[in-house]
């Protein structure tokens, strides 16, 4: 192991933070679903993969610009989330936790391998000129699509934050996540809240997929790469904690990218898992969470 | 009286089943022999998982960690130090057991429960996989091949599939009997108490931490020993098929579908999964992920309609019926 020079370190800090924006967006959907429904959604990565393929096919078949295809992937994934929640997830809301986990695992096995069946395991990338642009600031190279993805991730998070904070539906969602019985008492329709929240969660990850497709390869198993990281982010930020997920995403993106400068090959993932286990063991309520006594 | 009759029936059933599988290799060919061997093998692995996940209620999502440790330990010992694979199997099991105790004591001490424990186990398995990837990339980029030594029981290598069939069968019977024995003893009651209500079990004086660790140790040892069988059966190991998340999933699917916390659940689940996946593979040749798609669909159906698995569902139905009668 050799110490990387300053330029490399700066470069990894910048790329890490940019990548972290996408992790945040993936994690925000996951943490929203967990916060409201107390369900760990293993199928989250599959939904992201569907978002990526939406953007890919929209460009390849219809020539739609990848950023414009957000207008496709967000509603499609929102609707898909609604349906999956109504038909499947809502059946197990009172089941033991591990059965909920297994159901979402089943859903992800089904979706991913169906995608494999339809679209083959080939690695695909969007071949568009302007996506390959990059500018250099000092010694640091900044790639264009990553900056856009980062900004979009923040924009979408902002919109979502506003929605949850100031609209009636958003307030109802937050109320249900904080105090289920209380929400029921004041006449909030929990079933509706659940499927809307799940839909918003999948829409978020659909958007994250579209954005990631501009600089990452697309293939049926690609979701797994992001979703494991998203689990780490969610636990780090505190399960169900919105701002925690945002900050956690940036932190993990940074940690991963800086680790990659020090350790060879795939071992940067090792660092992520290590952080994950440490947080689970010693700070399960997350870095920013107040400890929840139940 | 009635209980006695049930027991006699169960023994007769077990003997008949045992005899059937003992003579089966005389009548079926290589491909089906492989299929049934895999049913035995996954029953074995599923039962090992079942002791921790089904009985003690500690839901592991990372049994690939133990499986891979077992496969790698015996293989490396065999190749580099000439250690006999049977001894390697025992040593691999022991290394798996130690890993289990280490991971278990950490996560149980810090109160990791339910999905959190499941995810922590997943992370452990993934960490080991990444280490294996890094280590193999330099030394064994194509996987580790075990050199051929011909047909010998001592070398745990055979030129035909029949001996593997019997070894897998023996392993399965052993672990099924072990599960049965645990279930009937105090140990099994402690496990169930912990699974059903940890706080209550603790209040009644069950040493929760200790019995969780015991379940973990048994489960880890057996799973790791299974890793050696896998290595000797294929005579080749690489990181994905030993430490991969797919292994963790396949190990737990059997007991979940057949019925977690029942002796025969893993067998029912493994049989259904293997037969169905072979069937769909034949039906849709050339599509690699099809059997996983079917697994996903079965998993969804079972979780929604039979949350306690097939045998669990049958048990409930039987109890209801016998109450009516």
**ipTM of predicted assembly, 2 dp:** 0.87
The pLDDT confidence band at residue A1, using thresholds 50, 70 and 90, is very low
Q: What is the pLDDT of residue A257?
A: 87
Closest residue of A to B249, CA-based?
A105
Least confident of A123-137, A163-177, B63-77, B270-284: A123-137
Least confident of A3-7, A27-31, A280-284: A3-7
Counting residues of chain B whose pLDDT is more than 90, the rounded percentage is 57
Q: What is the pLDDT of residue B56?
A: 93
Q: What is the pLDDT of residue A292?
A: 46
Q: What is the pLDDT of residue B208?
A: 92
Counting residues of chain A whose pLDDT is more than 90, the rounded percentage is 28
3-state secondary structure of B266: helix
The shortest C-alpha distance from B25 to chain A (Å) reads 34
H helices of chain B, in order, are 2-23, 30-50, 64-81, 85-109, 114-139, 162-184, 186-196, 198-203, 208-234, 240-243, 245-258, 265-283, 290-305, 309-324
Chain A / chain B CB contacts < 8 angstroms: 121
Mutate to test the interface with A, among B64, B109, B289 (most CBs of A within 10 A): B289
Q: What is the pLDDT of residue A290?
A: 55
Which residues on chain A are in Cβ contact (under 8 Å) with B123?
273, 276-277, 280
pLDDT single digits (tens) A117-144: 888 888 888 887 777 777 777 777 788 8
Average pLDDT in the A224-252 region? 86
The pLDDT confidence band at residue A115, using thresholds 50, 70 and 90, is very high
C-beta atoms of B126 and A265 within 8 A = no
Closest residue of B to A40, CA-based?
B115
The pLDDT confidence band at residue A289, using thresholds 50, 70 and 90, is low
Average pLDDT in the B6-17 region? 84
Mutate to test the interface with B, among A280, A284, A291, A294 (most CBs of B within 10 A): A280
pLDDT single digits (tens) B72-113: 999 999 999 989 999 999 999 999 999 999 999 999 998 888
pLDDT single digits (tens) A179-208: 888 888 888 888 888 989 999 999 999 999
C-beta atoms of B115 and A97 within 8 A = yes
The pLDDT confidence band at residue A4, using thresholds 50, 70 and 90, is low
Instruction: Say yes or no to pLDDT of A263 above 60.
Output: yes
CA separation, residue B31 to residues B165, B226, B230, B276, B289 (Å): 12, 21, 17, 15, 20
Measure the CA–CA gap between A228 and A103, rounded to whole angstroms: 17
Which residues on chain B are in Cβ contact (under 8 Å) with A252?
none
Measure the CA–CA gap between B128 and A273, rounded to whole angstroms: 10
Closest residue of A to B298, CA-based?
A106
The shortest C-alpha distance from A91 to chain B (Å) reads 6
The shortest C-alpha distance from B108 to chain A (Å) reads 9
User: Is residue B283 within 8 angstroms of chain A, CB to CB?
Assistant: no
User: Is residue A276 within 8 angstroms of chain B, CB to CB?
Assistant: yes
Mean pLDDT of chain A: 86
CA A280 to chain centre: 19
The pLDDT confidence band at residue B2, using thresholds 50, 70 and 90, is low
Instruction: Say yes or no to pLDDT of A47 above 80.
Output: yes
- Three-class HEC string of chain A: CCCCCHHHHHHHHHHHHHHHHHHHHHHHHHHHHHHHHCCCCCCHHHHHHHHHHHHHHHHHHHCCCCCCCHHHHHHHHHHHHHHHHHHCHHHHCCCCHHHHHHHHHHHHHHHHHHHHHHHCCCCECCCCHHHHCEEEECCEEEEHHHHHHHHHHHHHHHHHHHHHHHCHHHHHHHHHHHCHHHHHHCCCCHHHHHHHHHHHHHHHHHHHHHHHCCCCCECCCHHHHHHHHHHHHHHHHCCCCHHHHHHHHHHHHHHHHHHHHHCCCCHHHHHHHHHHHHHHHHCCCCCCCCCCCC
C-alpha atoms less than 13 angstroms from C-alpha of A118 in its C-beta half-sphere: 12
Least confident of A51-60, B2-11, B35-44, B212-221: B2-11
Closest residue of B to A220, CA-based?
B289
Closest residue of B to A118, CA-based?
B287
**What residues contact residue B160 under an 8 Å CB cut-off, 6+ apart?**
B151
Q: What is the pLDDT of residue B313?
A: 87
pLDDT single digits (tens) B124-181: 999 999 999 888 888 888 888 888 887 888 888 888 888 999 999 999 999 999 999 9
Phi, psi of A140 (to 5 degrees): -95, 130
């Amino acid at each position: 192991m050799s110490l990387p020079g300053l330029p490399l370190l700066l470069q990894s800090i910048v790329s890490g933070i940019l990548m972290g924006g996408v992790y945040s967006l993936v994690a925000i959907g996951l943490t929203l679903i967990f916060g409201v429904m107390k369900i760990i959604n293993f199928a989250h990565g599959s939904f992201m993969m569907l978002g990526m393929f939406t953007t890919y096919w929209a460009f390849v078949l219809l020539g739609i610009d990848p950023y414009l295809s957000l207008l496709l992937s967000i509603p499609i994934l929102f609707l898909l989330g609604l349906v999956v929640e109504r038909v499947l997830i809502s059946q197990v809301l009172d089941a033991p936790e591990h059965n909920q986990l297994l159901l979402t695992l089943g859903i992800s096995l089904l979706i991913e391998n169906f995608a494999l069946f339809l679209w083959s395991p080939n690695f695909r990338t969007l071949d568009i000129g302007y996506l390959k642009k990059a500018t250099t600031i000092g010694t640091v190279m900044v790639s264009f699509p990553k900056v856009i993805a980062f900004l979009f991730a923040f924009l979408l998070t902002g919109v979502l934050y506003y929605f949850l904070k100031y609209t009636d539906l958003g307030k109802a969602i937050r109320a249900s996540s904080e105090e289920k019985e209380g929400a029921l008492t004041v006449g909030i329709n929990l079933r509706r809240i659940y499927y809307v929240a799940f839909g918003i969660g999948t829409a978020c990850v659909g958007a994250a997929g579209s954005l990631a497709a501009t600089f990452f390869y697309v293939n049926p198993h690609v979701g797994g790469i992001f979703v494991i990281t998203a689990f780490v982010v969610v636990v780090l930020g505190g399960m169900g904690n919105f701002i925690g997920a945002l900050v956690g995403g940036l932190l993990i993106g940074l940690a991963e990218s800086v680790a990659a400068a020090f350790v060879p090959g795939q071992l940067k993932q090792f660092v992520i898992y290590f952080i994950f286990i440490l947080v689970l063991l010693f700070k399960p309520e997350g870095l920013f969470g107040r400890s929840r006594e139940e | 009286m009635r209980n006695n009759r049930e027991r006699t029936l169960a023994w007769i059933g077990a003997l008949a089943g045992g005899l059937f599988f003992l003579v089966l290799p005389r009548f079926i060919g290589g491909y089906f022999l492989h299929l049934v061997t895999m049913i035995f093998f996954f029953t074995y692995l599923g039962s090992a998982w079942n002791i921790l996940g089904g009985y003690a209620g500690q839901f592991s999502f990372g049994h690939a960690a133990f499986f891979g440790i077992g496969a790698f330990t015996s293989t490396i010992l065999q190749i580099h130090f000439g250690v006999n694979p049977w001894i390697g199997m025992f040593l691999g099991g022991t290394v798996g057991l130690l890993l289990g105790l280490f991971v278990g004591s950490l996560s149980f001490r810090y109160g990791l429960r339910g999905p959190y424990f499941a995810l922590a186990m997943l992370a452990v398995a993934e960490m080991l996989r990444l280490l294996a990837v890094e280590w193999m990339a330099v030394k064994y980029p194509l996987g580790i091949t075990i050199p051929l030594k011909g047909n010998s029981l001592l070398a745990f290598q055979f030129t035909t599939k029949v001996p593997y069939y019997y070894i897998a069968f023996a392993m399965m019977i052993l672990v099924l009997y072990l599960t049965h024995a645990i279930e009937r003893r105090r140990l099994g009651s402690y496990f169930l108490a912990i699974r059903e209500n940890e706080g209550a079990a603790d209040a009644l004086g069950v040493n929760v931490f200790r019995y969780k660790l015991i379940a973990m140790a048994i489960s880890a040892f057996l799973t790791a020993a299974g890793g050696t069988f896998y290595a000797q059966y294929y005579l080749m190991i690489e990181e994905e098929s030993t430490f991969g998340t797919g292994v963790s999933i396949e190990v737990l699917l059997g007991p979940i579908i057949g019925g977690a916390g029942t002796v025969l659940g893993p067998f029912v689940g493994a049989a259904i999964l293997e037969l169905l996946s072979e069937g769909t593979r034949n039906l849709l040749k050339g599509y690699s992920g099809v059997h996983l798609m079917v697994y996903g669909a079965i998993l969804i159906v079972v979780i929604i309609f039979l949350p306690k698995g097939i045998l669990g569902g049958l048990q409930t139905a039987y109890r209801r019926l016998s109450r009516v009668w």
